Structure 1
Amino acid sequence: MSEANADDKQFAIQKIYVKDLSFETPNSPAVFTEQWKPEVNLNLNTESHGIAENVYEVVLKLTVTATQGEKTTYLAEVQQAGIFTMAGFSEDEIKPMLGAFCPNTLYPFARETVADLIQRGGFPPLLLAPINFDALYAQQVNEVQAQVTDPTTAGH
């Protein structure tokens, strides 16, 4: 019976697309005359929601900020999205798929978009390091469980 249930599970990528894209160089052209030694910061976030029965949109949001001293050299924001069909999975199986598996699928596309965007902005290419979305999801689940276990930490 469990083999029949496993056969009933379906996962499919319907579409991968750029949902939103932004690039700013607030201190250009002056930044191009300075020695290139930026500090680069990556902010990463995911969100997901159902759009039909067994169909979900997952959005991976990346914000890359490069600064030199107090000046922002560039700010790149990419929202890489995907539409995924997941049928026959329990809610306990869907949550990690939405929180880790789908973002892991989207990340190479977002990484390429960020690299291309920054290079087209006139800056040296930036190749973002790989990210372990399974570990990030597990950390997020542990933090939520810790807040439930210790209500004194909730809201602080």
Structure 2
Amino acid sequence: MAENDAPAQAPQAPQVKMNVMTQYVRDMSFENILAQKGVQGDVQPDVQVQVNLDAKKRSQENQYEAAIKLNITNKAKDGDATLFVLELDYVGIFHIEGIPEEQMHPFLLIECPRMIFPFVRRIVSDVTRDGGFPPLNLETIDFVALYRNEIARRQATAGAQKLDS
């Protein structure tokens, strides 16, 4: 077999390695305003959930931090009485190797939050139940859509700033 007849070797993509090293609640606040103000009667809840994501490189090699920040407000549908407010900042520390630099940002803001979200969901459920309300079971968050919306918002803001100049 001649040298030219050997099958061409495709360059292999680097092997992706990701480990969740630890995860923790960085900050949490739950206010049961219904109990504080003594709202009476049958109250129909209207739950609003705001989600923010954050990520950054840590000082150790190949270590990154990804955070899910939730702000949950539960108001009465037939008025503006707030029933409870829950704020949660939940962080995962990840060891990541093999991700190209240009793909690291979306990886940190999509895949990492997806890995720690079940724990966030459980905390929200437990805290609302322990706070005297029915457990709040968060819907699954589409982190890809959240990421795309944030990129579009940043591009629109940057475009508006160029027009103002």
TM-score by length of 1: 0.86
1:66 to 61, 67, 74: 74
Paired position in structure 2 for 1:16:
23
**Residues of 2 paired with 1:67 and 1:147: CA distance?**
31
In 2, Cα distance between equivalents of 1:131 and 1:153? 35
Change in CA separation of 1:88 and 1:125 when aligned onto 2, cut-off 3 Å = same
Q: Name the larger-Rg structure.
A: 2
CA contact (8 A) 1:111 1:127 kept: yes
Residues 2 and 142 (structure 1 numbering): CA distance in 2 closer, same or farther, change over 3 Å? farther
Identity %: 32
What is residue 6 of structure 2 aligned with on the other side? none
Residues 72-118 of structure 1, C-alpha deviations (whole Å, 9 max, x = no match):
11011111110011123222111111111111112111111111100
- Equivalent position amino acid for 1:67 in 2: K
SS at match of 2:51: strand
Aligned mate of 1:90, from 93, 100, 108: 100
138, 146, 149: which is aligned to 1:128? 138
CA gap of 1:117–1:89, structure 2 versus 1, over 3 A, is same
Q: 1:11 to 1:123 in 2, by over 3 A?
A: same
Measure how far apart 1:148 and its partner are.
4.2
Output the amino acid matched with 2:44.
K
DSSP-derived class of the 2:33 partner: coil
> Following the alignment from structure 1 to structure 2, what is the Cα–Cα distance between the partners of residues 2 and 95?
24
Q: Tell me the number of residue pairs that the alignment of Structure 1 and Structure 2 aligns.
A: 151
**CA gap 1:153/1:103 in 2 versus in 1, 3 angstroms:** farther
How far apart are the structure 2 equivalents of 1:67 and 1:37?
8
**1:5-154 equivalent positions in 2, closer than 5 A:** 5-7=13-15, 9-28=16-35, 30-31=38-39, 33-51=40-58, 52-68=60-76, 69-149=79-159, 151-152=162-163
Deviation at 1:143, TM superposition (A): 2.9
Instruction: Give me the CA root mean square deviation.
Output: 2.0
Q: 4+ residue stretches of structure 1 with deviation over 6 A?
A: none
CA distance in 1, matches of 2:101, 2:152: 18
In structure 2, stretches of 5+ residues that fail to align are 1-9
